Amino acid sequence: MTEITRAPGPDSRPGCGVGRYAPSPSGDLHIGNLRTAVLAWAFARAAGKGFVLRIEDLDRVRAGARERQLADLEAVGLDWDPPVVVQSDREPEHRAVVADLTRRGLTYECFCTRREIQAEIAAAGGAPHGAPGAYPGTCRDLSAAERERRRRDRPPAVRLRAQAQEVTVVDRFAGQVTGTVDDMVLLRNDGRPAYNLAVVVDDAHQGVDQVVRGDDLLLSAPRQAHLADLLSLPRVTYIHVPLVVNAEGARLAKRDGAVTLEDLQAAGFGVPDVMGWIGRSLGLPGSVATASDVLDSFTLLDLTGGPWVFHPPGKLSDSGVQP
């Protein structure tokens, strides 16, 4: 079995574990991203853990975004243990893990397009193999001759041959969560590692044992836990926190207006204003002007109110009270 290499750990916190924040450099962080980052940092530091960053750049990358993201995280008061891992630098290790799974008979080539998968799921009534929305296993048992024929039409992705249909994980807020485990993609048909593979391998590499992230990712946790089990890696502790949403209840995005730190500063609001809004959204009393204030009041955090609806201010005079 391929051994997962471990990055140097934080020497000052032996045995306490590590939390992390792992943004994608597809654009600037918005206030929802910053809120999740502050929470990930605070949960780690309150438990005496190290805290690391990882730039998850396997998909779309915008020039300069990584540098601006790190600057914004520093501006709101976060610190982290070096090095900052860049996910694309670790592709050889991702592929080595897939090669090991393949030697163990736990992968197969898949030639399906997304449209073909959606059509087959719809034709089967939405629940093929007893797993709603899951990959229906179309290519799982193709013959060698059929695989060879299909390779002439398109390059294959590589899927995990899952050993379970459901897995249960425990989340700090959601409790026991049982979710579908299907034959997830490990390598895309362009040869690049898929998210579910990379996040599991890279968390292990960085010694991460606590994952704080938005609750829109809760149902990916069983898939990732199953892969960790197959790789003989310890499962992480999950803490899925409520998202920040717009007035329509959709996940906040830059198109919603002044939502990034730069935009808000241009509208007349400084970091203390932004952190004050974040602090109030977390139910914290008193003045919150930096991440350290959140940590100081950590025992008073209230995340029971569901998503935080953020109304981007247009001008200084609009600001108000609510954002």
DSSP element (H, E) containing 238: strand 237-241
Q: What is the rounded distance in angstroms from the CA atom of residue 243 to the CA atom of residue 306?
A: 8
Single out the residue of 244, 177, 185, 237 nearest to residue 214, CA to CA. 244
The two structure tokens encoding residue 311: 């109304």
Q: Is 49 annotated as a binding residue?
A: no
Q: Is 195 annotated as a binding residue?
A: yes
Q: How far apart are the first and last CA of the chain?
A: 51
If you search the block for the tokens 């449209």, which residue do you land on? 115
Any idea of the CA torsion for 118, 121, 127, 129, to the nearest 10 degrees? -110
Q: What is the rounded distance in angstroms from the CA atom of residue 21 to the CA atom of residue 80?
A: 10
Q: What is the rounded distance in angstroms from the CA atom of residue 40 to the CA atom of residue 210?
A: 9
Q: What is the rounded distance in angstroms from the CA atom of residue 107 to the CA atom of residue 103?
A: 8
Q: Is 315 annotated as a binding residue?
A: no
CA–centroid distance for 242 within its chain: 14
The two structure tokens encoding residue 141: 């048992």
Q: Is 25 annotated as a binding residue?
A: no
Tell me the HSE value of 70 on the side-chain side, using a 13 A CA sphere. 15
DSSP element (H, E) containing 291: helix 291-296
CA–centroid distance for 188 within its chain: 18
Q: Is 135 annotated as a binding residue?
A: yes
Q: Is 254 annotated as a binding residue?
A: yes
If you search the block for the tokens 């609750």, which residue do you land on? 215
Q: Is 20 annotated as a binding residue?
A: yes
How many Cβ atoms are within 10 Å of 218's Cβ, its own excluded?
17
* Binding-site residues for Zn(2+): 110, 112, 135, 139
* Binding-site residues for ATP: 254
* Binding-site residues: 20-24, 56, 110, 112, 135, 139, 195, 213, 254
* Binding-site residues for L-glutamate: 20-24, 56, 195, 213
